[in-house]
């Protein structure tokens, strides 16, 4: 039974980057489409707070669908791995890119067709489950090649895939993630090996995993989601999938995306919400407000030279002559200039909702809401994105930076 599920006040596809959610995300969305690598675990290590947060949101009624671009393990083994990290799960909770790739193959090939599997057991099982026949060499004249991440993949197996592709076999890749996060750092992912085969053959695969729609549609279907939330750590897969499908997203900073990468994100890679880790599902989120001269950055600048300014909480970030810098906003007063709310959702007006009724600077509850350490980064991203969208991107950062922005590049 759900715990106080509050349906969105406007269509999910209309939500903009760094939106406000006065209600905790767990009370707004019915299903979390949860990435794994870099979100729940990193290699053989659990991400701090992940297991606790997942348990807490389940108690509040949110369902979990664990969605992974990693095609190496079958769903049952992924569930066992989650249990080892303290996250109760069964195979039905897991959707992999191997399953999405196998569905793409089944839609294009006759039953029983031979498929050369260039990957691990997860791919072989998925291919068998849809009525196709896994093979290992190009001599078996496969109708297709399916490629997924496998740390034991060697040159000989890649060579067999190259020969089959050059002979005309359909080529499907489970995903094209260039790297995989581990406890030792980022290691080459399936996308790196896909690039190798593409260079060798001159061909390009059909891609099943994020950010393509096949895996997203499979996840929504299996989860029975009406108001899903995509949760992930990668801009080029998780967040891009959300933007393409019009689904709200939560980016967590526990995996591959740094603050600097987020600052430079193009329009197709900007998350709806931002949190340090999965505990961000249990809280409301502040919005950002952006002020720019009429007509964009090409319009007349304000007298103080500020071309774009964005406000989040008690931090304002502004772009002046290509330089991004910050200032603290007084708790009890609004900015002197008019700002436009670019990312508010729901029916709560300024100062209303669960965050409290402080005067603030016009965002919900700024008089009482505590900064989670990311407000300055949210403001910086909103300002940098607005400047970039106006064809005047940030070229330099101020030397003095607030908390959460010290390592920006």
Catalytic sites, residue numbers: 35, 37
- Please, what's the largest Cα pairwise distance for the chain? 75
- 171: nearest Cα among 203, 139, 138, 127: 203
* Spatial distance between the Cα atoms of 289 and 245, rounded to a whole number of angstroms: 25
Task: From 284, 277, 276, select the one nearest 374 (Cα to Cα).
Answer: 276
Phi, psi of 265 (to 5 degrees): -60, 135
Phi-psi region of 264 (alpha: psi -120 to 50; beta: other; left: phi over 0): alpha
Q: Annotate 189-224 with DSSP letters as a single string.
A: -HHHHHHHHHHHHS---EE-STTSHHHHHHHHHHHT
SS3 percent helix, strand, coil of the chain, rounded to 5, is: 30, 20, 50
The tokens describing 298, both together, are 């090409």
* Opening angle at CA 222, ends 221 and 226, nearest 5: 55
Cβ–Cβ under 8 Å, residues 9 and 347: yes
Q: Is 261 helix (H, G, I), strand (E, B) or coil?
A: helix
**Residue 358 near residue 368, CB atoms below 8 Å:** yes
Dihedral angle computed from the Cα positions of residues 272, 239, 233 and 228, in that order, rounded to the nearest 10 degrees: 70
Which has the closest alpha carbon to 270: 376, 179, 385?
Answer: 385
Q: What is the distance between the terminal CA atoms of the chain, rounded to a whole angstrom?
A: 45
Whether the Cβ atoms of residue 398 and residue 324 lie closer than 8 Å to each other: yes
Q: How many CB atoms lie within 10 A of CB 228?
A: 24
């Amino acid at each position: 039974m759900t715990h106080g599920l509050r349906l969105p006040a406007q269509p999910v596809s209309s939500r903009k980057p760094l939106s406000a959610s006065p209600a905790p995300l767990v009370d707004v969305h019915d299903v979390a489409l949860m990435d794994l690598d870099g979100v729940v675990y990193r290699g053989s290590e659990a991400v701090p707070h992940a297991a606790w947060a997942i348990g807490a949101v389940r108690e509040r009624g949110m369902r979990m669908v664990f969605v992974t671009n990693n095609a190496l393990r079958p769903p049952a083994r992924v569930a066992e791995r989650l249990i080892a990290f303290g996250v109760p799960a069964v195979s039905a909770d897991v959707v992999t890119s191997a399953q999405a790739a196998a569905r793409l193959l089944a839609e294009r090939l006759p039953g029983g067709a031979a498929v050369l599997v260039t990957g691990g057991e997860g791919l072989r099982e998925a291919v068998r489950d849809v009525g196709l026949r896994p093979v290992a060499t190009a001599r078996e004249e496969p109708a297709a090649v399916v490629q997924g991440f496998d740390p034991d993949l060697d040159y000989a197996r890649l060579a067999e895939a190259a020969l089959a592709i050059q002979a005309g076999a359909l080529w499907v890749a489970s995903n094209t993630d260039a790297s995989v996060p581990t406890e030792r750092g980022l290691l080459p992912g399936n996308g790196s090996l896909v690039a190798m085969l593409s260079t060798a053959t001159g061909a390009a695969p059909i891609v099943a995993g994020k950010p393509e729609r096949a895996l997203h549609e499979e996840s929504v279907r299996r989860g029975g989601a009406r108001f899903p939330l995509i949760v992930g750590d990668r801009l080029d897969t998780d967040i891009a999938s959300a933007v393409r499908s019009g689904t709200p997203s939560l980016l967590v900073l526990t995996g591959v995306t740094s603050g600097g990468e987020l600052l430079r994100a193009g329009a197709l890679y900007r998350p709806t919400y931002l949190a340090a880790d999965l505990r961000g599902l249990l809280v409301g989120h502040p919005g950002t407000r952006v002020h720019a001269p009429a007509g964009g950055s090409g319009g007349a600048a304000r007298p103080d030279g500020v071309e774009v300014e964005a406000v989040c909480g008690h931090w304002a970030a502004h772009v002046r002559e290509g330089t991004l810098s910050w200032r603290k906003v007084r708790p009890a007063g609004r900015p002197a200039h008019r700002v436009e709310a670019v990312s508010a959702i729901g029916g709560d007006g300024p100062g209303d909702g669960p965050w409290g009724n402080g005067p603030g600077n016009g965002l919900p509850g700024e008089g009482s809401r505590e900064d989670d350490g990311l407000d300055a980064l949210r403001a910086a991203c909103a300002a940098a994105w607005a400047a970039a969208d106006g064809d005047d991107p940030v070229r330099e950062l101020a030397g003095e930076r607030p908390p959460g922005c010290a390592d920006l590049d």
